[in-house]
C-alpha cells in the first residue's frame, strides 16, 4: 500500500493488519498519561462552576460557533497531522473531540516545514446547512476555505483565496442581506512604518463561486491607535448587534502584551471606531509575581447562547516560571459583559479566573477523555484507530505504523527528530506542568543506532528522547536531548543506565515544571532511575521559540 494511503487508512481506521515483531519494529502495548498543576491542589471548582482552561495544553487560537443547541470549536495545529481538531459541546464547558478537519494527506502538504509553520488560527462558522473553516497554511499554500455538511467530516479539499496573499487569520461573516465577507490580517498599505505593523482587511466573497470579489479595503491600520505603534493586529471577527457591526481583534503579539480589542461601525466595510476602553481583555497590567498567573491572553471569539448570554473562548498561557511554559497556549472561557454598547471581558487589573460560574445551559456529562483540571488517560491501543488527539509530525510518509493485536507497532525509520521529516513518532499533548507519561515497550535493538521509546518534542531543534538502545553489545536505557541548532542533530546524551535483555520494558517520563525525570523497569521489576532533574526548560516556548506545546509519545528510529 502506498505511504499516503496507508496513512489515511490508519487515521480513518480502515485496517488493523497484524505485524510480525522483529528487530526492525517496536511494539507499544499501552501509554498512560497522568497530569496535574500546582493550582489543582488549591483551587477547586464548586458545584455549578467550571475550571479554566477548558482545553489544557497545546490548543491555541480557538474559534467557536453555535448551531442550535450545539457548539463547535477548532484550534491551530501548525505542521502536525491530522490537523485542526474539531470539538463539540452543549454546555461550553465539557468538550469532546469529534474529528480533525485536516485528516487526508492530499488536503495540505506540510512538506519539510518547521513544526510551528503550517496551519495557523482556523476560524469556524456555519451558514445555511454548511460548516466553513477558514485558515492559512503558512509556507504551504496560503489562505483557504474548507467546508463540510457534518462537522465530524469529511471536510473538503481547500479552496484557495489568492487575493489574500501575504495575509493570515482569515474569517468569514455572513450578513443579514445575503452578502458574505472575508476578513484577514495582512500587510498595511504602502511600506510598514515599524516592525509588526499590520492591518485588518475586508473583501466580499461570492459563495457560489467561492471567490473573493470587488475591492479589498483596510479596516484597521496597525491597531486601535497607530500613534502608539501597536503590533500584530490579527485574528479578526465581525458580528452584528443592535444595528452595529462589531470587529474584534487580537493586538500586541502573542507574548505577555497580548490583548483583545474591539471597534464598531455601521457597515462591514467600515469605517470602524475603537471602543473608548480598549483593550477589553489582557493580563499585561498584572503583577507577574502573583500566584498561579495566567498571561498572554487574547485571540478571542464570541458566541451567544439561546438565552442571550455572551461568552468568549480565547487563548492564554499558564507559566511555571519567568514566561516559561511547556504546555503551549491553551483555550480558556469567560463571559462577555455589555457596558454602554461595548463588550468587556476583563477590567484593568482583573485576573482571568481559574474557576467561574457555568453558563446557563443544560448540564452535560463529563467527557470520556478529560480536557481540564487534573486527570488520567490510558490508551490501550486496542481499537482500529488511534483517538483523534494523537498526531504525527507533518504528512505521513511510508507504512511505518500499525494498530494490531492490542498494540501500536512502529517500524524503525531512518528519520530522526531533527530531520524536518516524518519520523516514526505518534504523540499526544503534554497538558499539565506536572505530568507522568508511561508506556510498555517490546523491543530489542538489532544494532547500534537502533532505538525505540518515548520522545518529548517542542521543535525540530528542541526535544528529549528516552529510548532502549545498544552500544558495544550492552543494552542501555538512554536519555538524549537537543537544545538548539548548535547541538548536533542527533542530540547530546544526558544519561544512560544498563538494562538486562527483557521481554518488555516500562519507560516513564515525569515532568515537574522545568525538570524532567526518566525511569525504566525491565520485565515488571522495580523502577530504576536513569536521570533526575534534566533541564526541561529547553522544551519551553521561551527557549525553543515557535507557537506549539510539548508533544510526547512513542518513537522509533534506526541506524543510518
Q: pLDDT for 380-400, tens place per residue?
A: 999 999 999 999 999 999 999
Residue 524, pLDDT above cutoff 80:
yes
User: If residue 372 lies in a helix (H) or strand (E), which one and from where to where?
Assistant: none
Which DSSP state fits 61?
S
Which DSSP state fits 415?
-
Q: Report the percentage of the chain scoring pLDDT > 70.
A: 96
Cell 473562548 -> residue? 313
pLDDT for 8 equals 47
Which DSSP state fits 40?
G
CATH architecture of 38-357: 5 Propeller (2.115)
Residue 225, pLDDT above cutoff 50:
yes
Which of 3.30.1280.10, 2.60.120.200, 2.120.10.30, 1.10.3860.10 would CATH assign to domain 3-32+374-557?
Answer: 2.60.120.200
Residue 5, pLDDT above cutoff 70:
no
d(CA 388, CA 424): 17
Say what the alpha-carbon torsion angle 517, 487, 109, 174 is, to the nearest 10 degrees.
70
Residues noted as catalytic: 61, 234
d(CA 418, CA 458): 11
d(CA 548, CA 341): 36
Positive or negative torsion for Cα 107, 111, 115, 117: negative
Residue 21, pLDDT above cutoff 90:
no
Q: Would you call the peptide bond into 53 cis, given omega within 30 degrees of 0 as the criterion? A: yes
Which DSSP state fits 38?
G
Q: Residue 560: pLDDT band by 50, 70, 90 thresholds? A: confident
Residues in CB range of 140: below 8 A, 6 or more apart: 108, 109, 110, 111, 113, 117, 118
Residue 12, pLDDT above cutoff 50:
no
Residue 346, pLDDT above cutoff 70:
yes
Average pLDDT over residues 9-17: 40
Q: Residue 23: pLDDT band by 50, 70, 90 thresholds? A: low
Burial level of 290, CB count in 10 A (0-12/13-18/19+)?
Answer: exposed
As beta bridge partners, residue 413 has 557
Q: Which segments of the chain belong to CATH 2.115.10.20?
A: 38-357
Q: Which segments of the chain belong to CATH 2.60.120.200?
A: 3-32+374-557
Look up residue 109 and give its three cell numbers. Answer: 502538504
Q: Residue 22: pLDDT band by 50, 70, 90 thresholds? A: low
d(CA 215, CA 96): 40
Amino acid at each position: 500500500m502506498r505511504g499516503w494511503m496507508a496513512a489515511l487508512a490508519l487515521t480513518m481506521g480502515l485496517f488493523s493488519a497484524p505485524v510480525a515483531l522483529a528487530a526492525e519494529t517496536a511494539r507499544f502495548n499501552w501509554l498512560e498519561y497522568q497530569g496535574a498543576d500546582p493550582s489543582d491542589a488549591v483551587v477547586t471548582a464548586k458545584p455549578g462552576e467550571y475550571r479554566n482552561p477548558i482545553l489544557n495544553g497545546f490548543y491555541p487560537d480557538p474559534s467557536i460557533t453555535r448551531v442550535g443547541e450545539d457548539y463547535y470549536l477548532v484550534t491551530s495545529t501548525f505542521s502536525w497531522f491530522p490537523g485542526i481538531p474539531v470539538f463539540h459541546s452543549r454546555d461550553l464547558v465539557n468538550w469532546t473531540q469529534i474529528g480533525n478537519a485536516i485528516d487526508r494527506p492530499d488536503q495540505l502538504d506540510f512538506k519539510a516545514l518547521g513544526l510551528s509553520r503550517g496551519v495557523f488560527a482556523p476560524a469556524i462558522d456555519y451558514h445555511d446547512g454548511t460548516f466553513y473553516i477558514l485558515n492559512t497554511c503558512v509556507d504551504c499554500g496560503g489562505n483557504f476555505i474548507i467546508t463540510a455538511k457534518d462537522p465530524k467530516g469529511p471536510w473538503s479539499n481547500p479552496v484557495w483565496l489568492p487575493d489574500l496573499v501575504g495575509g493570515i487569520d482569515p474569517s468569514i461573516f455572513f450578513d443579514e442581506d445575503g452578502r458574505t465577507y472575508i476578513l484577514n490580517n495582512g500587510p498595511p498599505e504602502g511600506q510598514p512604518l515599524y516592525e509588526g505593523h499590520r492591518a485588518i482587511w475586508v473583501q466580499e466573497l461570492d459563495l457560489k463561486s467561492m471567490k473573493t470579489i470587488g475591492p479589498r479595503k483596510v479596516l484597521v491600520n496597525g491597531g486601535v491607535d497607530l500613534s502608539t505603534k501597536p503590533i500584530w493586529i490579527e485574528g479578526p471577527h465581525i458580528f452584528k448587534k443592535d444595528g452595529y457591526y462589531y470587529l474584534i481583534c487580537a493586538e500586541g503579539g502573542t507574548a505577555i502584551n497580548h490583548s483583545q480589542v474591539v471597534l464598531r461601525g455601521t457597515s462591514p466595510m467600515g469605517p470602524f471606531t475603537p471602543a473608548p476602553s480598549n483593550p477589553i481583555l489582557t493580563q499585561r497590567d498584572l503583577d507577574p509575581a502573583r500566584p498561579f498567573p495566567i498571561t498572554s491572553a487574547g485571540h478571542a471569539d464570541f458566541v451567544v447562547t439561546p438565552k442571550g448570554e455572551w461568552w468568549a473562548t480565547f487563548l492564554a498561557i499558564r507559566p511555571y516560571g519567568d514566561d516559561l511554559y511547556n504546555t503551549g497556549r491553551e483555550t480558556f472561557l469567560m463571559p462577555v459583559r455589555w457596558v454602554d454598547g461595548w463588550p468587556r471581558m476583563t477590567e484593568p487589573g482583573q485576573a482571568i479566573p481559574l474557576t467561574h460560574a457555568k453558563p446557563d445551559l443544560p448540564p452535560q456529562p463529563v467527557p470520556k477523555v478529560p480536557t481540564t483540571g487534573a486527570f488520567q488517560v490510558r490508551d490501550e491501543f486496542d481499537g482500529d484507530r488511534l483517538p483523534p488527539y494523537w498526531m504525527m509530525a507533518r504528512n505521513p510518509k511510508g507504512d511505518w505504523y500499525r494498530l494490531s493485536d492490542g498494540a501500536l507497532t512502529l517500524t524503525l525509520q531512518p528519520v530522526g527528530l531533527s530531520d524536518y521529516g516524518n519520523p516514526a513518532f505518534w504523540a499526544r499533548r503534554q497538558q499539565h506542568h506536572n505530568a507522568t507519561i508511561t508506556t510498555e515497550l517490546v523491543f530489542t535493538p538489532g544494532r547500534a543506532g537502533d532505538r525505540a521509546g518515548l520522545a518529548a518534542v517542542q521543535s525540530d531543534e528542541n526535544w528529549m528522547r528516552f529510548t532502549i538502545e545498544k552500544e558495544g553489545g550492552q543494552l542501555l536505557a538512554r536519555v538524549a536531548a537537543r537544545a538548539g541548532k548548535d547541538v548536533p542533530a542527533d542530540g547530546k546524551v544526558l544519561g544512560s543506565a544498563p538494562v538486562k535483555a527483557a521481554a518488555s520494558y516500562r519507560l516513564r517520563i515525569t515532568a515537574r515544571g522545568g525538570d524532567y525525570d526518566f525511569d525504566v523497569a525491565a520485565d515488571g521489576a522495580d523502577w530504576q532511575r536513569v536521570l533526575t532533574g534534566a533541564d526541561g526548560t529547553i522544551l519551553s516556548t521561551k527557549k525553543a521559540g515557535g507557537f506549539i506545546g510539548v508533544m510526547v509519545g512513542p518513537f522509533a528510529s534506526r541506524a543510518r
